[in-house]
């Protein structure tokens, strides 16, 4: 490495602290973006550990009522 290497490689914690103060939008957007893949790996086992079982399937159609269907009256649509 040369003597003019970026500060990040010499003192990464100090650089991250500087970035969180001076460029918070960039810093925290990167932090939030990096938590997504971590959560995809970490959350399902934790949910299973706390008892989250299989979810009921989402209905794809509206349930049709059993028996005769009443005809609407009083709307003058005949």
Has residue 20 been placed in a domain? yes
Q: Tell me the C-alpha distance between 65 and 67, whole Å.
A: 7
Has residue 38 been placed in a domain? yes
Closest by alpha carbon to 15, among 1, 2, 30?
A: 30
Has residue 67 been placed in a domain? no
Domain hosting residue 24, numbered range? 7-49
What would the pLDDT profile of 17-33 be if each residue is shown by its tens digit? 999 999 999 999 999 99
- pLDDT: is 64 or 76 the higher one? 64
Give the SS3 label for residue 50: coil
pTM of this structure: 0.52
What would the pLDDT profile of 1-22 be if each residue is shown by its tens digit? 555 566 777 888 888 899 999 9
Has residue 68 been placed in a domain? no
Has residue 56 been placed in a domain? no
Q: How many domains does the chain have?
A: 1
């Amino acid at each position: 490495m040369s003597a003019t290497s970026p500060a990040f490689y010499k003192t990464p914690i100090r650089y991250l602290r500087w970035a969180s103060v001076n460029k918070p939008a960039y810093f925290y957007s990167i932090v939030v973006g990096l938590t997504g893949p971590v959560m995809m790996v970490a959350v399902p086992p934790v949910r299973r550990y706390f008892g989250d079982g299989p979810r009921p399937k989402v209905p794809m159609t509206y349930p049709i009522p059993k028996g005769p269907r009443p005809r609407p009256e009083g709307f003058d649509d005949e």
